[in-house]
A and B are shown apart, each in its own frame.
Chain A
Amino acid sequence: MSTFLDLATLLLPLLYLGAAVAYGFVFFAAHPTAGRVATPALHGAVVLHLAYLVCLILRHRQFPAATVSQALSIVALAVAIVYVFVEWHGRERSTGFWMVALVFFFQLLSSVLVRPNPPDRQIFHDPLFSTHVSLALLGYAAFVVGAAYAFLFLQLYRDLKAGRFSTFYGKLPPLEVLERMMLGALSIGFLALTGAVISGAFYAEQLYHNAWLRDPKILVTLATWVLYASALLLRRLRRWQGRQTAVASLAGLCAILFSLVAVNFFFTDFHGFL
């Protein structure tokens, strides 16, 4: 099992890179054969990735989010699965390059930061805590996907507004479809983050009583939650258009990255387990 894990750590970024290159040919060169290669390559990588995470669970007997590497790997897989669903559902590969490039980036970081013997923490054996972490990671992955679609939406929006018709014009799905994809991903992310906040609150209340409310990471996460809630609500009430929602989605991702990196490493009291 150890050899398989080592091999998968090496292979996964390479497979995602290969798939990203194939999707790149689809996007930039509209290459007819690349499309037939890209999807199976991504499916193969996702299957290997699932096997990798199952092996991690079997080997360490705990939820595989005990290290930054493991958490990033779960986010990478979640993004990949969300994209596989989007491609299957929408029958179009034009956004594949951007999504799979993100997956590659997360998995590469995960493989670089991998630790051979992650610490055995009792906390990761607790089902409520595992639910909290799973929901948080699923939420983050969905927000990453949403932000990627928001980025593509804004690029196409700017091209169309300025009549530039550059790289993005004609190669992406229409603005309305990109917006729908973005809103879908944000809605999933918001629900998952809500679940993560609620399950985290229950868990922290048991351990720390009221002290957890002062944790900077929780404060930033709650601010992020409010940001996404407002963006989705304003869009639902038709007060905001796609562009404002897209900007909010990118701002939300920045807040998430801030809470993950800066807050996690420098300020947090008890969210420092990663």
Chain B
Amino acid sequence: MSLPADPPLLLVGTDFRCSPIEIRERVAFHGEDSEHALVHLLARPGIAEAYLLSTCNRTEVYIQPRDEDEAYRSVLELIFLNRAPDLEKPGRLYVKRNGEAARHLLGVASGLESMVLGEPEILGQIKQSAALAETVGASGPVVRRLLRSAFSAGARSRQETAITAGAVSIGYAVVELARNIFSGLEECRVLLVGAGEIARSVARPLVERGARELVVANRSVERAQQFKEEFPQAELVPFEQRMEAVRSADLVVVSTGADEPVLTRKQLKEAMKSRSPRPLLVVDLGVPRNVEPSAAKIDNLFLHAIDALEHIIQRNLKRRREEVPHVEEIVEQELDHFRHWFHSLEAEPVVASLQKQAERIRQDEVTAVLSRFPAETHADLERLTRSLVRKILHHPSTRLRSRNGAQDLSHLEFVRELFHLDDDEPSEDHDRR
């Protein structure tokens, strides 16, 4: 069985591997910018359909071209070189065609191309861009179906593999640790000793994942107030009262710039005596360490420094990397579906499906009324109905065949929709080819 021909597609893009942030930010498109870009692209005669994906890590344009050279020149000019002439340098842009372009988008949706392997936000960003392309009228049948395959590949990769499993940032690693100890973050009282950027980066995922009670102990009152502006639910306590706060906390994150430990073993041992028998998780993100390392020996207290979190992150990344072959398999399966769909858009399969459907209706109707006619007329009835169907379908079939080609596929899609011809499953005829 030979695979169907690849759909005509053109991808031009740049990402974090090819360009530094200074260039990527110049070709980042948001809101109205994206709308205008798509409208301008569609105004070019070489472009039938367009899709623009712009995130902080990539800007990519997918085109279903009428004229590939013309489309390429338009994309370069309108999207990239006008804004960032540096992209002309070799290696800054990548260009992929047909099946390769489709495979790339499916890989992006599955998190294979992300800076952090398996990063989950990209699928939402692809969906947002797809909605915009739909609103502007830039996506036609090919791009629409390609995006459907991308959504499917993205969703399946997340459901069927562990490509998004495990924390890969310090903040989420703290969440992961806490989730291995406590039954729910909702019931955890979190104490942050230190209110700097590290504390914020930990507080964000904790709040996002359900932590409701935040207590902050910081030497500088101004910085603590700034923290409260971002996290209004946070309760501020003086730094000197941090040990009282430890007694009622379940999770303590320490990230101060102090040279000496701000929580000693003795202090923690005292605090543990007056606490409930609930475990206490202490995460020390300070360098030099803010918690006396020997405190790890205290019963029911779990002390982890930044190295342990790094260990978790590396372990999770390794696990994600092991999932890559499974995700690639899913991408290939979805790419095959897309190719089969595209193949089914060619005129001949549409004509064949149309004739098959008409013949089925004819047979059903003849069978239903055959008993009412004398036996000697049955052959004539068959002949008459066959001839009728053939004549009715003759003109539409001829017209469809005469417009065969990939340049304008919308009429074939329309015929499929109009007559409710199945467009997803490859027919047996295709498989035999």
Contact = CB atoms under 8 A, between A and B. Distances in A.
Please determine whether chains A and B interact with each other in the same assembly: yes
Contacts of B183: 174, 176-177, 180
A5 B394 CA distance: 71
A176 B182 contact: yes
Interface stretch (B60-68, B199-207, B304-312): B304-312
A129 interface: no
B302 A160 contact: yes
Contact of A163 (B277, B299, B304): B304
B182 A174 contact: yes
B291 to A, nearest CB: 14
Interface string A229-271: 0000001001011110000000000000000000000000000
Contact of A241 (B165, B300, B302, B315): B300
A250 B357 CA distance: 70
Q: Output the residue of A169, A175, A235, A240 with the most chain B CB within 10 A.
A: A175
Interface in B148-196: 159-160, 162, 165-166, 176-177, 179-183
Contact of A175 (B159, B165, B181, B299): B181
B389 to A, nearest CB: 46
Interface in A207-230: none
Nearest to B178: A174
A32 B326 CA distance: 13
A31 to B, nearest CB: 10
A156 B299 contact: no
A212 B333 CA distance: 72
Contact of A161 (B159, B176, B278, B302): B302
B160 A32 contact: yes
Nearest to B276: A238
B279 interface: yes
Nearest to B301: A161
B372 to A, nearest CB: 52
B300 A160 contact: no
B271 interface: no
B300 A243 contact: yes
Interface size class of A (residues with CB under 8 A): 20 to 34
Contact of B277 (A165, A172, A174, A240): A240
B406 interface: no
Nearest to B315: A165
Nearest to A171: B180
B305 to A, nearest CB: 8
A165 B308 CA distance: 9
B415 interface: no
A84 to B, nearest CB: 21
B198 interface: no
Contacts of B165: 30
A176 B276 contact: no
A238 B277 contact: yes
A174 B311 contact: no
A29 to B, nearest CB: 10
Contact of A176 (B162, B176, B279): B279
A44 interface: no
Interface string A142-177: 000000000000001000110101000110101111
B296 interface: yes
Contacts of B304: 163
Given A163-B311, A165-B315, A242-B277, A174 B299 contact: no
A175 B180 contact: yes
Contact of B299 (A160, A170, A177, A243): A243
Given A170-B176, A241-B299, A176 B181 contact: yes
Nearest to B298: A161
Contacts of A176: 181-183, 278-279
B3 to A, nearest CB: 28
Q: Output the residue of A32, A163, A172, A235 with the most chain B CB within 10 A.
A: A163
B159 A170 contact: no
A169 B180 contact: yes
B209 to A, nearest CB: 13
A92 to B, nearest CB: 12
7 contacts: A160-B302, A170-B166, A170-B176, A170-B180, A175-B279, A176-B183, A243-B300
Interface of B: 159-160, 162, 165-166, 176-177, 179-183, 276-279, 296, 299-300, 302, 304, 308, 311-312, 315
Q: List 7 A-B pairs, minimum CB-CB distance, nearest first.
A: A163-B308, A176-B183, A241-B277, A241-B300, A175-B181, A177-B183, A238-B277
Given A176-B182, A177-B183, A241-B277, 15 more contacts: A30-B165, A32-B160, A156-B180, A163-B311, A165-B311, A165-B315, A169-B180, A170-B166, A174-B180, A175-B181, A175-B279, A238-B276, A240-B277, A241-B299, A242-B300
